[in-house]
Amino acid sequence: MVSEIRDKKDEVETLYHHALSRNILISKEALEFILFNGISLKKVKDYLNELPEGILSVDNLKELIQQTTTPSDQVEFEVLRTSTKHLAKNYEGSVKDIWTFNTDFESKTSVDNFLNYFRDRYKKIKSLLLQRNGVKNIVSIEKLKSHTFNESVSIIAMIREKDDYGKGSLRFLIEDDTDEIIAYVDEKIYDVAKNVVEDDVIALKGKLNASKKYFIVEEIFYPDIPLPTNDSITKIEDPLTAAFISDLHFGSAQFIEKAMTRFLKWINSDDKDASRLKYLFILGDNVDGVGIYPDQEKELLMKNIYDQYKAFEEFLLKIPEHIEIIVIPGNHDAVRLAEPQPILPEKYLENAHKMKNIHFKTNPAFVEIHGRDSAKGIKVLMYHGYSFNALIDTLTDIRKVARDKPTVVMKEILKRRHLAPIYGSTLIAPKEIDNHVIDVIPDIFASGDLHSHDVSNYKGVTLISASTWQAQTSFQDRVGHVANPGKLTIVDLQQRNTRVIDLLG
């Protein structure tokens, strides 16, 4: 490490003189930042060449990192000369469950079951809405009817039906745990109201009409998450990173072996972020599966599910043991589709199940990593993302962009505080509780499924739609996914910034 820094120091000095020749002074803080934050010197030099005369500050460099967090980022580890033991080995990992589910299958489903599920959703999201600023004068629908005409009140309700007539005209049938009423939306908020979906639980501010038969909606509130403060952005003290991959699809003829070999090369390399890598998240569709879609066998390299999981397991076991791996299933994995999906079974992954550093979790899963008695860890919400498809198809405003930029739909999910807002958008295990309500605000929300790749931030929450290792298949064509494979997302848990490495670049 020391010799690595010494080598870099010489190069930074050359860069400093290059900047001076262009009448740019690199500040002392910026020099230290360049030296210790693994930023590409070539990128800094290119950036300098674009700058007018003046001072290069740390803020400039942070801006540069943001700009270079793109899929075209090149793998830099190949140019590093020294090999030292990985820094992350010196730190003990910790993975704690925030959510735990009973995933025993209950075959019995009844009307009561179904009603209790929706009551549970209503109750949980109502409590989140009550914490929101602006939601005042709340009345139940039953009590509303005894209120005077024109009095401004708020109702917390579930959308049972939505009729969008276009051109500013929209009507809901809303209900709470007391009654139901027809609600007409004021034309002024049509653009907001048209993005409300059936089964959403929202607050509607408005008043009764003159006949007291209808509610006129003037403002809509989602439960949402609050704006971040300096204190609410959790960072860990230790200099560690986490990486996110998804939809590996072992066994598929379209599996991109180069992505795996480059990944394993990177993870064992002297790259600064690889050296600090302590947590690896794998977001489901670990294998391609068997019989998932018609004629799938024509696109399979391994036609036996055991062989597919054996290949996946071999990959897992090549990852250094000091890295904590957190794995969830997806809709291609050999577990039931109904969510919460159970953990990947031991019968397919016997050796991996024996490993202390490999944590098999449900889909969805919510974990806290690197928490200490003295300090908060990073809360990571993991969801494969099957329900996103229906939400994308329903929301006209995001339909055209969300398959390329899936974090757009992830923002909608966080706004609603629900992983599958539209009932039926994914299979749900028949339980009397709704396990998809996001009752805790994550630091990182990671998903897969769409085979695209995107990283962004919503009110301080890092959103990651992790990239696949599968090239486009006929199935992906059919479901409208466009693959953007081989992008590795890395989060610096100490700085809370992200970097993307193109494993296929």
Residues that bind Fe ion (CB under 5 A): 247, 285
Q: Which is nearer to Fe ion, 289 or 442 (CB)?
A: 289
Instruction: Give 480's DSSP letter.
Output: T
Classify burial at 495, counting beta carbons within 10 Å of its beta carbon; exposed 0-12, middle 13-18, buried 19 or more: middle
CB of 196 to Fe ion, least distance (A): 29
Q: Which two tokens stand for residue 198?
A: 């059936």
CB of 312 to Fe ion, least distance (A): 13
Instruction: Give 331's DSSP letter.
Output: T
In 3D space, the residue among 384, 88, 75, 403 whose CA is nearest the CA of residue 258 turns out to be 75
CB 468 within 8 A of CB 503: no
DSSP characters for 335-376? Answer: S-SSBSBPPPPTTT-HHHHH-TTEEE--BSEEEEES--SSS-
CB of 481 to Fe ion, least distance (A): 8
CB of 99 to Fe ion, least distance (A): 22
Q: Which is nearer to Fe ion, 247 or 434 (CB)?
A: 247
CB of 9 to Fe ion, least distance (A): 45
CB atoms within 10 A of CB 489: 26
Pairing of strands 454-458, 444-447: unpaired
Q: Which two tokens stand for residue 163?
A: 């009729």
DSSP H helices, 58-154, are 58-68, 111-130, 141-144
CB of 483 to Fe ion, least distance (A): 9
Instruction: Give 264's DSSP letter.
Output: H
Q: Which is nearer to Fe ion, 162 or 403 (CB)?
A: 403
SS3 string of 381-443? EEECCCCHHHHHHHCHHHHCCCCCCCHHHHHHHHHHCECCCCCCCCCECCCCCCCCECCCCCC
Q: Which is nearer to Fe ion, 5 or 479 (CB)?
A: 479
CB of 503 to Fe ion, least distance (A): 17
CB of 476 to Fe ion, least distance (A): 8
Q: Which is nearer to Fe ion, 437 or 503 (CB)?
A: 503
Q: Which is nearer to Fe ion, 212 or 336 (CB)?
A: 336
Q: Which is nearer to Fe ion, 285 or 502 (CB)?
A: 285
Classify burial at 374, counting beta carbons within 10 Å of its beta carbon; exposed 0-12, middle 13-18, buried 19 or more: exposed
CB of 485 to Fe ion, least distance (A): 11
Q: Which is nearer to Fe ion, 182 or 253 (CB)?
A: 253
In 3D space, the residue among 485, 446, 302 whose CA is nearest the CA of residue 361 turns out to be 446
Q: Which is nearer to Fe ion, 442 or 485 (CB)?
A: 485
